[in-house]
Amino acid sequence: MFELDLRSRQPIYEQLVEKVKELIIHEVWKSDEQLPSVRWLAKELTINPNTIQKAYRELEHQGYIYSIPGKGHFVAPQAKTMTREKVETMRNELLRLISEALYLGMSKEDILSLIELAEQSVKGGIKHD
Amino acid sequence: MFELDLRSRQPIYEQLVEKVKELIIHEVWKSDEQLPSVRWLAKELTINPNTIQKAYRELEHQGYIYSIPGKGHFVAPQAKTMTREKVETMRNELLRLISEALYLGMSKEDILSLIELAEQSVKGGIKHD
DNA sequence: CTAACTGTATTATTTAATATATTACAGTTA
DNA sequence: TAACTGTAATATATTAAATAATACAGTTAG
């Protein structure tokens, strides 16, 4: 279901948050669709239910999912709207990284070719993770 | 001297490593130039000498500096060569981020304008951190 | 109704990384 | 010799992350 790196410096619950976000943003999981239950997913990934709970709580707090006690967690209809702020965050990251790259002597053309490359992989559906 | 975020999730010693790298790569500190002593810098930044030592050890291990016991730490002449592998790492980061951006619906033109923006800030010497 | 699911909350404990505190030893230099 | 340098070692404190173990309540299929 998910590939987690238990040895990563990044906490498990954060990795989970990111994975779920990606599935939602890329519409693998659609609006109002039910997420795996806390206990089921914990068993599936052989990690503690509390860790799943923490990730889901965070996702709910960020507006990506909602929960109905007794029923489950579901993809929030507004989740796709969240991509706007994600794009904004990405703009900043990109600007920072591109500046750094230019500063280190990477040429404008180098970056342009990277865009071409990225475009192909995205259109071709090639995973880049 | 450095601006450190003591509350950051990123360890102090790692922040230090990055800051020193930047100063070396951007040639603020040149080859064979002496770095601040472990104890002096510890006092300056009001952090523990062991933490400085750890950062310097890491920088030495990565080839950015060398040390002469009893004398001090100095910028390694090969340090600038390190930028090559840094550029390679950056290529990968950029490719990943650009793909993600396109995937989220950011247009090619958006990214191009970011490059323009970055180019100006780099040429103008505007800091992007 | 009941069993087996769901979410949620709480408390205690373990683990690992980070940072500090302290002390010590040895080379360098004015 | 005094005051710097780097280096090493040990003990301690702090914190975040993750686990373990329960408990309580809503939901739902049989």
- State residue A37's pLDDT score: 97
Cα distance between residue A112 and residue A114, in whole Å: 5
Among candidates B93, B106, B119 on the partner chain, residue whose Cβ is nearest the Cβ of A108:
B119
The shortest CB-CB distance from B122 to any of A93, A97, A103 is to: A103
Residue B128's nearest CA partner among A100, A108, A107 is A100
Rounded CA separation B67/B71 (Å): 8
- Are residues A101 and A111 in contact, defined by beta-carbon separation less than 8 angstroms? yes
**CA separation for the pair B41, B100 (Å, rounded):** 40
Closest nucleotide to B71, Cα to C1': D5
The better pLDDT of the pair B33, B124 is held by: B33
- pLDDT tens by residue, B78-95: 887 766 777 888 898 899
Q: Which residues pair with A75 in a beta bridge?
A: A65
Task: Tell me the per-residue pLDDT of A97-116, one tens digit each, with 9 for 90 and over.
Answer: 999 888 888 899 999 999 99
State residue B94's pLDDT score: 93
Checking each nucleotide's C1' against the CA of A35, the nearest proves to be C6
In three-state secondary structure terms, B75 is strand
| Beta-carbon contacts of residue B6 (< 8 Å; ≥ 6 apart) | B12, B47
Rounded CA-CA distance A5/B109 in Å is 35
**What digits encode the pLDDT tens for the residues A7-43?**
899 999 999 999 999 899 888 999 999 999 999 999 9
What average pLDDT is seen over chain A?
A: 90
Q: Assign A46 a pLDDT band (cuts: 50, 70, 90).
A: very high
